[in-house]
Copies of this chain bind each other. A is one copy, B any other.
C-alpha cells in the first residue's frame, strides 16, 4: 500500500513532470485537466487523511524533504513525489513559494446537488450560496461549515470556485472536508432542497423572523447571498426569511461572519 521512496529530484523548471505547477498564481486552473492546487503542510495532511479528492503529485522544496519525511513516507503508491530547489520552485510557480510544499489535486466528477441530497441524513444541515464572488468569504463560510459539522454546501454557478488556492487557504482546509456541489442557479438549488424535505431559510437584513426565534428541526438549509445585493427577490418571496438583529445605524455584517452566527445557532 505504501511506498516510502525518496522524492524524485527535479533540477529544471521546464521538466514536463512538474508542468502542472506552472504559473499557479493564475486564478483559473479549471481548464487544466480538472486539477486544483493544495498549498502547505497542514492542508495537504488533511487532504491525504480524508481522501475525498485524489492527489496526482506532490512537489516539495529540497530543504523541506527531511522535515516532511514522515508525510512522504505515508504517501500512497501512485502519487508522484518530486523535490526541487527553491529557485526551480519559484520559477515554475511564478511567485516566491514560501510554504515549501504544493500538491496537485484532482476535482474528479465532483458531487452533484442530487447526490448530496440523496445521501443526506435525516437531521441534515445544509448551506446554499448565491453569488459569493469573494474567495475570502467562500473560504470563511467553509471554515464555519466544517466547525459546525454541516452535511453539505450547495453553491450556485455564479459564485467563485471553492477549490481556488486562496479559498482553500482561508478555509484552513475545510473546503476539502465538507461535501459540496457547484452549479445551476439558486432558485433551482432551492427547489431541490425543498423536494428533499428540507426547511429552507433565507438570510436577509430585512428578514421577517429573528434568528433567535428559529428552532433547529429535521432537515434544514440556510441560504446566503452576496453582501450588498443579497439573495434574489424571487427566492426571498418563497421562503421563511431570517435576520440577525443589530444595534445602531451600522447595519453591516460580513457574510462569512453571518454564516458563523447562523450555523452556531442551528448546529445539531
Contact = CB atoms under 8 A, between A and B. Distances in A.
B247 A149 contact: yes
Contact of A147 (B136, B148, B252, B260): B252
Question: Quick one: which of A136, A140, A257, A267 has the most chain B CB within 10 A?
Answer: A257
A143 interface: yes
| Copies of this chain in the oligomer | 2
A245 B264 CA distance: 8
Interface residues of A, number: 29
A233 interface: no
A172 B246 contact: no
Interface of A is mostly: loop
Contacts of A267: 245, 247
Contacts of A172: 252
Interface string A250-264: 111110111011001
A1 B196 CA distance: 63
A244 B264 contact: yes
28 contacts: A136-B136, A140-B257, A143-B252, A143-B253, A143-B257, A144-B253, A144-B257, A146-B248, A146-B250, A146-B252, A147-B247, A147-B250, A148-B246, A148-B247, A149-B247, A149-B248, A172-B252, A174-B250, A253-B260, A254-B256, A254-B260, A256-B257, A257-B257, A257-B260, A258-B260, A260-B261, A261-B261, A261-B264
